[in-house]
Amino acid sequence: MSVCLTLWLGNSKPTDYTVTQPTGDVTAAEGDTVTLNCTFETTYSGPTLFWYKQEENDFPKYMLKCLSQTVYHAPEIQKDRFNAEIKEKSVPLKIQKLQLSDSAVYYCALQPTVTGNTTTLYKNLWSKDNTILHNIH
């Protein structure tokens, strides 16, 4: 059985940072390892980057955050399967031992995220006719 991970990345362009992810689907078999890429530019020193997972018909959920050489996982995230590390100007998310339940939309964000300002997030997550932009396979 194959697992399809849909990558969706809204490229954010505030004056002090940008975050870019490749778009498209990643198809892999159960048990495989995949790496989802995310690059960033910032004027902040010591950036904090986050990865989120959005399952079909659900809101984005925090998975982990990366600070320099330290990674903090959400309590429900399996540390042995999900990992990320800031490398230069990228923060790739590595998912090991893929499971069907890993099928979702994944995206990264650079702090500051949407705390206190959800307008951009909701604008990016919904299309003009208010249907979800993502199709989970």
Report the SS3 class of residue 116. coil
Q: Is residue 117 part of a domain?
A: yes
Domain at 111, CATH number: 2.60.40.10
What's the token pair of residue 28? 């892999």
How many domains is the chain partitioned into structurally? 1
Q: Is residue 109 part of a domain?
A: yes
Q: Is residue 132 part of a domain?
A: no
Contacts of 126 (CB under 8 A, 6+ apart): 132, 133
Q: Is residue 137 part of a domain?
A: no
- Range(s) of the domain holding residue 40: 2-127
- CA angle at residue 64 from 59 to 77, to 5 degrees? 80
Q: Is residue 135 part of a domain?
A: no
pLDDT of residue 39: 93
Average pLDDT per consecutive 10 residues, the chain (137 residues; last block may be shorter): 51 65 90 95 86 93 91 93 92 96 92 52 44 38
Task: Check: CB of residue 42 under 8 Å from CB of residue 17.
Answer: yes
| Tokens 């540390």 belong to residue | 79
